[in-house]
């Protein structure tokens, strides 16, 4: 079953004519489900067949005699004083609904959603398609047009209230996209459209109120003692904390252990804003292999523009704990996301010669451009995994970055336990 956002529930409220009040915190519409490593999910195409719809009429701005600016200062809307506004924002996003008092199945909804940074040339189209699918829970036919930087999709659907027309306008603003949803009954569109269109054109977004975008990062650090860091990404959350995820590559011909990554976030003047050390998700890296890592920074003053990284490790010797990565990891299910959360479930099979204990499994999620989005690892509770035996696992991955997940990688390891 597809995950529905609370925006979907708001539309149901509009269509049923139910009264509006301040609601529970809003989850952002989530991207489509995680694809398997061997079959990445392509972006949802825009259907060629489109319904016959009429475009918005010329706006009537004179009726917009009231204004509202969100407490965080990121959005200002104008609307008729006879209409009712509800601020349904929470700590993670901004969502405003405006409806006429008589509730005639009509609404104007403005939603600011992070895009994870400036969008590529075709990024807005992909963003809009994923948003539409999340909103309606399925692919829908839509008439598409462009107006300046905006991408405008019009959809007609049969609902309990009758034929309903939706017009969704996607406008990029730096690291966020303003999504304006105009909705009313199709047979009232010509009557309601001028006012709804005027409200959409009057929306003002304050880009300076958004969290800073990620600093520019190099593709991979220069190797030091056979170790390098690549595919690393830094991003901020809504609370002011920063997160760094990446992969450590072992460029030697021998396994390395006790891998530690040290990361410092620097401002434009080269001043260190924060420094953290963190072990990698797995305790050992096989020769020429990689292992992921994640470092979380508490909120701090300043905006980072550069990341300084160093990585260290030690050669695995007979005196160290014997780590085996001869484990087959099979993902049996990757659940639909909910509130940015992904569940990966599967089984581990011990392909080694000895039983294993202290088993760890790790996952890394990537977008369609192979950019690393999130890393998670977990120790599994088991006395010992015998030769040829299997063990189920479940990983919960909270994707704080806004890139759409396209694939994942899985790793596992355990400590060899000699037979008694």
CATH numbers and ranges of domains, the chain: 6-209 (3.40.1000.10), 227-315 (2.60.40.10), 323-416 (2.70.50.60)
The rounded distance, in Å, linking the Cα atoms of 279 and 109 is: 44
| Per-residue 3-state assignment (H helix, E strand, C coil) for 41-73 | CCCCCCCCCCCCCCCCCCCCHHHCCEEEECCCC
Dihedral sign from CA coordinates of 251, 252, 254, 257: negative
pTM for the structure as a whole: 0.51
The tens-digit pLDDT sequence of the chain (420 residues) is 223 345 555 555 555 454 333 332 333 333 322 222 222 223 323 333 333 334 444 555 678 999 999 998 999 999 999 999 999 887 667 889 999 987 668 899 999 887 766 666 567 887 888 788 778 766 677 788 888 888 899 999 888 778 989 999 999 887 788 999 999 999 999 999 999 999 999 999 987 777 555 554 556 788 888 999 988 888 877 677 888 999 999 999 999 999 999 999 988 788 899 999 999 998 899 888 999 999 999 988 887 878 889 999 988 776 666 888 888 888 776 665 555 667 888 899 999 889 999 999 998 888 777 788 889 899 988 778 898 999 999 888 876 555 567 788 889 999 888 765
Q: Residue 124: helix, strand or coil by DSSP?
A: helix
- Contact between 420 and 370 (Cβ < 8 Å): no
Q: How many CA atoms within 13 Å lie on the side-chain side of 55?
A: 7
């Amino acid at each position: 079953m597809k995950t529905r956002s609370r925006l979907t529930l708001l539309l149901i409220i509009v269509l049923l004519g139910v009264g509006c009040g301040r609601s529970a915190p809003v989850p952002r519409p989530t991207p489509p489900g995680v694809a398997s490593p061997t079959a990445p999910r392509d972006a949802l195409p825009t259907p060629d067949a489109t319904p016959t719809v009429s475009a918005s009429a010329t706006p009537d701005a004179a009726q917009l005699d009231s204004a509202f600016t969100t407490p965080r200062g990121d959005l200002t809307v104008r609307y008729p004083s006879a209409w009712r506004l509800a601020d349904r924002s929470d700590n993670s996003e901004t969502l405003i609904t405006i409806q006429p008092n008589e509730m005639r199945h009509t609404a104007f909804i403005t939603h600011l959603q992070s895009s994870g940074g400036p969008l590529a040339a075709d990024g807005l189209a992909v963003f809009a398609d994923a948003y539409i699918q999340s909103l309606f829970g399925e692919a829908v036919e839509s008439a598409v047009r462009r107006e300046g930087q905006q991408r405008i999709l019009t959809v007609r659907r049969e609902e309990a209230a009758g034929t309903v027309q939706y017009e969704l306008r996607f406008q990029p603003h730096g690291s966020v996209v303003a999504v304006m949803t105009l909705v009313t009954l199709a047979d009232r569109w010509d009557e309601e459209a001028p006012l709804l269109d005027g409200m959409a054109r009057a929306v003002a977004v304050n880009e300076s109120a958004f969290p800073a975008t990620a600093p520019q990062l190099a593709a991979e650090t220069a190797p030091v003692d056979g170790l390098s860091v690549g595919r690393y990404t830094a991003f901020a959350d809504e609370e002011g904390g920063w997160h760094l995820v990446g992969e450590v590559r072992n460029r030697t011909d021998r396994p390395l252990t006790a891998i530690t990554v040290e990361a410092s976030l620097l401002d434009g003047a080269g001043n260190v804003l924060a420094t953290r050390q963190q072990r990698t998700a797995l305790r050992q890296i096989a020769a020429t292999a990689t292992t992921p890592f994640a470092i979380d920074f508490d909120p701090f003053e300043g905006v980072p523009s550069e990341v300084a990284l160093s990585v260290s490790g030690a050669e695995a010797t007979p005196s160290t704990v014997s780590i085996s990565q001869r484990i087959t990891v099979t993902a049996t299910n990757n659940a639909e996301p909910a509130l940015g959360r992904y569940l990966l479930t599967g089984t581990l099979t011990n392909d080694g010669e000895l039983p294993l204990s202290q088993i760890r499994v790790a996952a890394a999620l990537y977008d369609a451009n192979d950019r690393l989005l999130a890393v998670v690892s977990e120790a599994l509770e088991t006395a010992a995994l015998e030769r040829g035996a299997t063990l189920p696992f479940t990983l919960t991955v909270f994707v704080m970055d806004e890139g759409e997940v396209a694939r994942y990688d899985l790793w596992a390891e355990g400590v060899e336990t000699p037979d008694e």
